[in-house]
Amino acid sequence: MKLLLAEDEALLAKNLSQQLSQQGFVVDCALDGEEALYLIEEHPYDLIILDLGLPKLPGLSVLQTMRSNQNPTPVIILTARNAWQDRVEGLKSGADDYVGKPFHFEELLARIQNVLKRTTPEAALDHSIQINGLTLNLESQRVVTDDGVEHPLTHTEFRLLRFLMSHPNKLLSKSDIMAKIVDQNYDRDSNVLEVYIRRLRKLIGKQRIETQRGQGYRFVAEES
């Protein structure tokens, strides 16, 4: 899943980004409110962690703009403003949860998981995806092929295969795939996607990922 972390404390943002990445999330970072709002308008996110005290544009204004634009992406407010009035204002503006600083990462992670459980379709929260003899374990980030062999995946390989298997038989464009599996620092004109597609094909079989030249890729869910 892809998250946006809008936090102006650079060291905190770096540490949180690393910890969240280790949990299998793709993380984009914004250090001010204007950048956060731009990224929200340009990229699809599964959840946003939003500091209220952002420079250039306050986090509350970012949240209010999102909701006025009918953007339903769940938001967790992360801020040192821990007075009950601030919590109420944030929740009234459309936040889904509120975490006050200082905090333990485990608490933030638990709140992320709880919000995603409430806002993500139930099918997407299963512990595995099974299609045509292929099983992707969402907890261990390993794939089991139809011959019973289990293969560990890198974070990017896992995110790519999960995205493909979550849309069986659907043609997915390169831009749609890249938007979900990498952060905003990647060069989307590079051949990084092709590299990971080749790696997955070696693990699960070339026939499972079909290339539509000039259009994108399709995960084949049925045997021909």
Q: Is the pTM of this model over 0.85?
A: no
Among the listed residues 23, 25, 106, 24, the one whose alpha carbon sits nearest the alpha carbon of residue 5: 25
| List of residues 6+ apart from 109 with CB closer than 8 A | 19, 20, 23
**Per-residue pLDDT for 123 more than 50?**
no
CA–CA separation, 150 and 143 (whole Å): 6
Is residue 137 within 8 A of residue 162, CB to CB? The reply is no
Q: What is the mean pLDDT of residues 31-39?
A: 95
> What number of residues does the chain have?
224
pLDDT of residue 96: 92
- Take residue 34 and report the two structure tokens written for it: 């204007």
Q: Confidence class of residue 190 from pLDDT cuts 50, 70 and 90? A: low
Task: Return the top range by mean pLDDT from 71-85, 92-106, 126-140, 177-191.
Answer: 92-106
Q: Which of 2, 66, 3 is nearest to 33 (CA)?
A: 66
Q: 63 or 82, which is more confident?
A: 63
Q: What is the pLDDT of residue 216?
A: 92
Band (188; pLDDT cuts 50, 70, 90): low
